[in-house]
Chains A and B, each alone.
Chain A
Amino acid sequence: MENLNDDKIRQVVRENYAKVAESGGSSCGCGTPSDLPVIETPCCGGPSPLQKERPIQDSTRMGYSSEDLASVPEGANMGLGCGNPQAIAALKPGETVVDLGSGGGFDSFLAANKVGSEGYVIGIDMTPEMVSKARENALRNRYTNVEFRLGEIEHLPVADNSVSVILSNCVINLSPDKPSVYREAFRILKQGGRLAISDMVAIAELPDELKNDLDNYCGCITGTIPAVEIEQMLTEAGFENIRIKHKDESKEFVTEWVPGKSIEDYVVSATIEAFKP
């Protein structure tokens, strides 16, 4: 990503996810801007146009139960995650949750089911088409404890010390300024609040050829950093009890994102947990 500036990265990510929102999730999550070659197989789990059933298959492989999948509005699951942050969040009734990069709202709705009527979920996403889609899903299914806002995860529109849990699924790797994301997350969490993230991390440096090949259109591979760097950013932000676990079973779906390139040798899905003391 050295050859792309931050604004360009944000612009590409937004354009890609706007297209995914408009297509109902039936295109690649990491996107293919119109001036770039179309890749037929998804990355970040986004299904290819011919594979409408993909979100469900992929979500099961990412760790969601069939009960989870059946409990959210149709259309909210766009198959864009890379794990199941809910599984590590252990949400309790009454908690206030912020979902960073909420997309179609899949994880926000699952969280809303868990925190119940006394709790609240706020999904934040920088792509207008995604936020509109998530809101439609909420309205259609009469959710009263989840709201979506247009916002940037590096500049959260949330008050200090105001939320119990931060969720995020395969989003932070796309940020060109990850330290800001973690500093903001720390700021908005209450004392004792926790971070429950599923994201891609780097396990080996991408060869230049692959890096150039993937630049622009697959931020969820080229934007990844190693777990040690994430841990350092979290520590610098103030977090404690940091646990980052590679999910080796993710190789099964990661390998399909860019066939023939062995990307599973370079990136892996991981769960990231941390607490605000």
Chain B
Amino acid sequence: MKKDLMDILACPMCKGELELTIEEEDEKEVVTGSLSCAKCSEIYQIKDAIPNLLPPDLRNQS
């Protein structure tokens, strides 16, 4: 996930702004990390550079 796309991302549940925490990144993108919603406190993981922004009930099934 590219950092410069943060501004068009939003929490899928409450549409609040997401804050990025980077655990691992390369020259192009964030590889591992998380996105946390400042409004509803939900946390979404980024794994293999893919942000998992599924609602919590669907995410738990994957």
Contacts and interface: CB of A to CB of B under 8 A. Distances in A.
A149 B47 CA distance: 11
Given A132-B48, A147-B1, A160-B15, A126 B9 contact: no
A120 B8 CA distance: 11
Given A122-B5, A147-B5, A157 B53 contact: yes
Nearest to B35: A157
Given A96-B8, A150-B54, A155-B55, A128 B15 contact: no
Given A135-B50, A147-B1, A149-B50, A158 B9 contact: yes
A132 B48 CA distance: 9
Nearest to B44: A157
Interface string A232-263: 00000000000000000000000000000000
Contact of A157 (B2, B49, B51): B51
A135 B48 CA distance: 10
Given A147-B1, A159-B15, A163-B8, A152 B54 contact: yes
A144 B15 CA distance: 26
Interface of A is mostly: mixed
A132 B50 CA distance: 8
Given A157-B10, A158-B10, A151 B48 contact: no
Nearest to A7: B57
Contact of A159 (B2, B7, B49, B58): B7
Interface residues of B, number: 26
Interface in B38-62: 44, 48-55, 57-58, 61-62
A148 B10 CA distance: 15
A57 interface: no
A71 interface: no
Contacts of B48: 132, 135
A11 interface: yes
A152 B8 contact: no
A126 B54 contact: yes
B22 interface: no
26 contacts: A14-B62, A126-B54, A126-B58, A128-B52, A132-B48, A135-B48, A135-B50, A144-B28, A147-B1, A147-B2, A147-B5, A149-B51, A149-B53, A150-B50, A150-B54, A150-B62, A151-B54, A152-B12, A152-B54, A156-B12, A157-B10, A158-B8, A158-B9, A159-B10, A162-B7, A187-B15
Given A135-B48, A148-B50, A157-B44, 17 more contacts: A120-B5, A126-B54, A128-B52, A144-B28, A147-B2, A149-B50, A149-B53, A150-B50, A150-B54, A150-B62, A151-B54, A152-B12, A157-B9, A158-B10, A159-B15, A159-B17, A160-B15
Interface of B: 1-2, 5, 7-13, 15, 17, 28, 44, 48-55, 57-58, 61-62
Q: Considering the complex of A and B, which 6 residue pairs feature the smallest CB-CB distances, nearest first?
A: A157-B53, A155-B12, A157-B12, A162-B8, A159-B10, A151-B53
